[in-house]
Structure 1
Amino acid sequence: MSAHHASRLFISLTGLDDTDGEELEQLTIALRERLLELDVDSAEIARREGPAPANTKSGEAFAAGTLLVGAGVPILRGMFDLLKSWIENRPVRTIKVSLGNDSIELQAAPRAEQKQLVDAFIARNEALSLTPTDPISTRDETEV
């Protein structure tokens, strides 16, 4: 992976209507573990900004449902295959993936439709990764 510039992706899970905060937290932790089995550079639960929501432990500083993933464009296909499988087999309504100013939201949709959306997202970001730029300035410009 080190031969490719790693990008920072934000992955946000939205649970079903009856999914509580604790279950969403467990789903986020489990997804992080699965992502780490892929060749990603990192996968961390995002830190929450601002005061803790009601009914949470005062020491909780993480945002359940949101991951920060460091990965190069070549790993995106495998990551999306994992996410598509994840949404079909878990109590998750949507998974939103953001890379810079580009984002895609996966939901339980027909596979052909999801494949077209994912292919377009990957193609856009492959084109961006092939454009010669200063990695430091690109990282600053694309942060969400």
Structure 2
Amino acid sequence: MDVLVGLTPDDAADAEESERLTRRLVAELRNLDLYTLQVLSDGAPPENSKGDLVTADAVALALSAPGGVLTSLVGLLQDWLGRQSARHRVSVTINGDTIELEQATPEERRQLIDAFVRRNGAGGE
């Protein structure tokens, strides 16, 4: 399964802070069971992808994941956002279907994530 993760730092974050956030997120993603993890610059979609998958100001990560990792990925991103002091946004795109995660109530995030995983996990994992 090919997944594109976009990180859009809070408006108050400067370039150095954005880079630091990206490094920390990538370090945590490396703990997942992934086939590949590719860091992209300037929101450019991965080679051979179709369409503009993230906004130009987002930092994107392209991953190819084995089955069963989608729930773990989204849980990791949700946890990571919850530990941040600023309002950063993370988007996850699979086959053109995008979910945007940001700091919200746990119940709102759970409902959003459950629906996304159902749409993309059943056939893709």
Q: Same fold (TM over 0.5)?
A: yes
TM range, smaller chain? 0.7 to 0.9
Greater share of helix? 1
Structure 1 residue ranges (4+ consecutive) displaced by more than 6 angstroms after TM superposition = none
Higher CA-based Rg: 1
2:94 is the counterpart of 1:99: yes
The aligned counterpart of 1:119 is 114
Q: Distance in 1 between matches of 2:37 and 2:123?
A: 22
Q: CA-to-partner distance for each residue in 1:7-65, whole Å, 9 max, x for gaps?
A: 12111111112101221112112211111111121222114488xxxxxxxxxxxx872
How many equivalent pairs are there? 112
Once residues 83 and 92 of structure 1 are traced to their aligned partners in structure 2, the CA distance between those partners, rounded to angstroms, is 13
Residue 112 of structure 1, CA deviation? 1.0
- Aligned pair 1:19/2:19, yes or no? no
Secondary structure at the counterpart of residue 66 of structure 1 = strand
Structure 1 residues 39 and 117: alpha-carbon distance in aligned structure 2, compared to 1, 3 A threshold: same
Identity over aligned pairs, percent: 31
User: How does the TM-score come out when normalised to structure 2?
Assistant: 0.78
Aligned to 2:69: 75
Inter-partner Cα distance in structure 1 for 2:65 and 2:115: 18
* TM-score, length-scaled by structure 1: 0.69
Q: What 5-or-longer segments of structure 1 have no aligned partner?
A: 1-6, 51-62, 131-144
